[in-house]
Amino acid sequence: MGFEGFPFILGWELTLICNLRCRHCGSSAGLSRDQELSTAEAIKICDQLPALLVQEVNFTGGEPLLRPDWPVIAAYLGQLDIKTKFLTNGIVLDHKIIHQMLELGVAGVGISLDGLAETHDFIRCRNGLFSEVLSKMKLVLEAEIPLTVITTANSKNIGELPALAELLADLGVTRWQIQPTFPLGRVKEFSYLRLSEDDYLRLGSFAVEWRAKSAETGLEILPGDSFGYFTELDDREPPWRGCPAGLFSCGITSDGKIKGCLSLPDEIIEGDLRKNDLWEIWFHPDSFAYTRQFNLNQLGANCESCSVAELCKGGCSAMSYGSTKQFHNDSYCFTGIRNRCPTPCPAGK
Amino acid sequence: MFPRIPLRVVPQWIFERWILVAYLIINWNIKELAEGIKVKPDKEFYAVVAKHLSAYTQEGVMPPAEIAPAILNLADDMMADRPMNMRAGDYISIQNFVRGIK
């Protein structure tokens, strides 16, 4: 029997063009990829999605709102009954775009915020951006478009998370995703931004503490990419059960390549939509082998002796590959760190 | 006109966590997929299903081998007066068949 899953949720990098050059950007976004998809090609791809039972498309970039035809693509997907959501740095959001989003029925907006003012502006290399982004969040909230704020935790902002939580709760934000910095893309030039193991445990403690307060603050904290696994620091329900890339989701790059997830580096490509359609790529027996054909023998040194490796399958594929050039070998893992350092870590509190 | 065919679906809580998959994670379990998605296949898909389901149930003509299990499963539902449900594997086999004759 062949694989019988579907890409219910699709990440789509509309363009790699970006109006920022963030130090932590895993995609090294800035300039366009060679030969990004035309509007006609994008529409042709949209036509392939209903048969694959795609329910939602999450547009990312680069900065997806810099692509002039984003309303055309979003409207077309709407006609196909496929929800659309946008991840943006917030800069170009204005009343006109918010109005367009409302008219198109955009189902959600994610905006990045990477620390308090000085840190956010440092990470994003643009002075004054912090206050600008806060004002854009207010626009989204006022329009009652569901907003999720996303923070990539790093060595500079880890101590600011409690203050950031207070700020977001005061603003009326209800959903906040936090995730560690990935060792991919531009952050390789700024490796000091990566979290130490102690800081990673500290991130886990912070999330647990603040999730307990969510009823009081109204701010739900969502552990994001590569955040876990198991132990009392990861109490999500249902628990992590391995990387979903190629099982329930996949990503389309702006030049039409298919990845299991857009966080993976460009060398991990499953196919090209200019050569094959998504159905052929998705159901090809060799596609997404790192998740679909996983077995315990593939576990790397960080995970091979772990008692829960069968459940987590070696963690986050992108973090694992970015850190070790191997899948199923994620070093950012609460259980793994505890196994390597069994004594209680003071910084974890 | 055929009704929409229920297939396996993603539970609502997955969509409530949509932001997690924008780049990477959907932290769910494949076995927790629930019933309920409404598939809206294109005209060719419906035409193939209608043609072979009708031929089988009314004239006893066996469907092509590639889609016979899928059509017979639907026919079982139909003749038992149950709502027609389609398994993911049956849906894939019919879509592959339709793609082959396009």
The predicted-structure confidence for B17-50, as pLDDT tens digits, reads as follows 444 443 333 323 333 443 445 566 678 888 898 8
Q: How far is A9 from chain B (nearest CA, A)?
A: 7
Percent of chain A whose pLDDT exceeds 90: 76
Average pLDDT over residues A140-151: 95
* Strand A147-153 versus strand A257-259 pairing type: unpaired
pLDDT given at position A242: 84
User: What does the alpha-carbon distance between residue A268 and residue A288 come to, in Å, rounded to a whole number?
Assistant: 9
pLDDT given at position B37: 55
For A244, the closest chain B residue by CA position comes to B26
How many C-beta neighbours within 10 Å does residue A103 have?
12
pLDDT given at position A342: 65
Interface check B71 vs A, CB under 8 A: no
- Over 50: is that where the pLDDT of A193 sits? yes
For residue A222, give the nearest of B7, B20, B89 by CB distance. B20
Question: Pick from A73, A44, A59, A48: which is nearest to A11 by CA?
Answer: A59
Residue of higher predicted confidence among B69 and A236: B69
Q: What DSSP designation does A337 have?
A: H
Average pLDDT over residues A179-185: 91
CB A157, CB A119: distance < 8 Å: yes
- Over 70: is that where the pLDDT of A166 sits? yes
Residue of higher predicted confidence among B2 and B99: B99
pLDDT given at position A130: 98
The predicted-structure confidence for A2-56, as pLDDT tens digits, reads as follows 888 889 889 999 999 999 999 999 889 999 999 999 999 999 999 999 899 888 8
Q: Measure Cα distances from A3 to A54, A248, A284, B59, B89 in Å.
A: 16, 11, 9, 33, 8
Residue of higher predicted confidence among B2 and A268: A268
| Plot region of A226 (φ>0 → left; ψ -120 to 50 → alpha; else → beta) | left
B29 and A50 in contact by Cβ < 8 A? no
Tokens of B69: 């299990």
Interface check A318 vs B, CB under 8 A: yes
A56 CB neighbours in chain B (<8 A) are 15, 18
SS3 for B38?
strand
Q: Which of A193-202, A274-283, B81-90 has the highest mean pLDDT?
A: A274-283
For residue B19, give the nearest of A177, A247, A262 by CB distance. A177
User: What does the alpha-carbon distance between residue A208 and residue A193 come to, in Å, rounded to a whole number?
Assistant: 23
Interface check A53 vs B, CB under 8 A: yes
Q: How far is B67 from chain A (nearest CA, A)?
A: 14
B32 and A148 in contact by Cβ < 8 A? no
Q: What is the ipTM of this complex?
A: 0.84
Interface check A313 vs B, CB under 8 A: no
The predicted-structure confidence for B42-98, as pLDDT tens digits, reads as follows 788 888 988 999 899 999 999 999 999 999 988 988 888 877 777 778 888 999 999
SS3 for A13?
strand
B28 CB neighbours in chain A (<8 A) are 238, 241, 244, 248
Q: Which of A114-128, A222-236, B43-57 has the lowest mean pLDDT?
A: A222-236
pLDDT given at position A269: 97
Q: Which of A13-22, A48-57, A68-77, A109-118 has the lowest mean pLDDT?
A: A48-57
User: What does the alpha-carbon distance between residue A116 and residue A158 come to, in Å, rounded to a whole number?
Assistant: 11
pLDDT given at position B40: 66
Cα B29 → chain centroid? 21
pLDDT given at position A329: 96
Query: What would you report as the CA-atom Rg of chain A, rounded to the nearest whole angstrom?
Result: 20
Residue partners of A225: CB distance under 8 A and separation at least 6: A179, A180, A182, A263, A316, A318, A319, B20, B23, B24, B25
Percent of chain A whose pLDDT exceeds 70: 97
Beta bridge partners of A58: A11, A85
Q: Which of A171-175, A225-229, A244-248 has the highest mean pLDDT?
A: A171-175
For A120-268, list the strands marked E by DSSP: 147-153, 175-180, 220-223, 249-252, 257-259
pLDDT given at position B39: 61
pLDDT given at position A230: 85
A243 CB neighbours in chain B (<8 A) are 24-25
First vs last Cα of chain A: how many Å apart?
48
pLDDT given at position B31: 37
B27 and A238 in contact by Cβ < 8 A? yes
User: What does the alpha-carbon distance between residue A313 and residue A329 come to, in Å, rounded to a whole number?
Assistant: 9
Average pLDDT over residues A240-245: 84
For A282, the closest chain B residue by CA position comes to B92
Q: What is the mean pLDDT of chain A?
A: 92
CB A262, CB A27: distance < 8 Å: yes
Q: Please provide the DSSP assignment of A45-87 as one string.
A: HHHHTGGGT--EEEEESS-GGGSTTHHHHHHHHHHTT-EEEEE
* Strand A257-259 versus strand A271-272 pairing type: antiparallel
Q: Measure Cα distances from A306 to A227, A254, A296, A326, B18 in Å.
A: 17, 38, 11, 16, 29
A11 and B21 in contact by Cβ < 8 A? yes
